[in-house]
Amino acid sequence: MKFISYAEEIKQLFGIPLAQDQNFRITDIAFDINQEVKIDKDIVIKASNWLRKKGLNVSASSIHINAWFGDYNKAKTSLSWLEKHGIKKEKCAFIGDSSNDEPMYEAFELTVGVANIAKVLDTLTHKPKYITSSNGGFGFVEFAHSLI
């Protein structure tokens, strides 16, 4: 599979390893940029552009570079799943933390960003409607408590 050779090249060219959860992925390849290792933002941009030149779709989150072949993203896939199960998107909320969540912020009405979204807010055209005061999982808990 092409993903394997790209993973080897990204590691060799940019020093970016695969994400720890890569073995559990079937539709994309994920590179670790801020989970177990810290990769400089300029290197992330260069690696992302390199992948795009190879014909992949690319999205960087707060911890991964995700790359995939095909015309889909989080929003398209989520909306398709909701439709298949007869669930209206107006009955749903989305919570995220990074620029790769932008399609979800555009597609859904009730959107929330955990506090660490502030690092990338200025890069987003479509922003979350609400932002928690806490980062990461604590922000998710904050949102869950507000629903309860």
CA dihedral 68, 72, 76, 81 (to 10 degrees): -80
Q: What is the CATH number of the domain that holds 95?
A: 3.40.50.1000
Domain end (from 33, 68, 103):
68
Helix (H) or strand (E) holding 14: helix 2-14
C-alpha to C-alpha distance for 66 and 48, rounded to whole angstroms:
9
- pLDDT (tens digit, 9 = 90+) per residue, 24-48? 988 889 999 999 999 999 999 999 9
Q: Which tokens hold the place of 137? A: 């999982």
Average pLDDT of 105-114? 97
SS3 label, residue 39: coil
Q: Are 14 and 46 in contact (CB under 8 A)?
A: yes
Q: Is residue 15 scored above 70 in pLDDT?
A: yes
**Domain identity same for 39 and 64:** yes
* Number of C-beta neighbours around residue 33 at 10 A: 25
**Domain identity same for 99 and 38:** no
CA 68 to chain centre: 12
Q: Which tokens hold the place of 54? A: 């190879």
Q: Which tokens hold the place of 80? A: 């398709």
Domain around 136: 74-147
Q: Is residue 94 scored above 80 in pLDDT?
A: yes
**Domain identity same for 45 and 100:** no
pLDDT of residue 27: 86
| 57-60 vs 110-113, strand pairing mode | unpaired
pLDDT of residue 57: 93
**Domain identity same for 85 and 132:** yes
**R_g over Cα of the chain:** 16
Q: Is residue 3 scored above 80 in pLDDT?
A: no
Q: Is residue 73 scored above 80 in pLDDT?
A: yes
Mean of all residue pLDDT scores within the chain: 93
Q: Is residue 2 scored above 70 in pLDDT?
A: no
Rounded to 5 degrees, φ, ψ at 133 are -90, -10
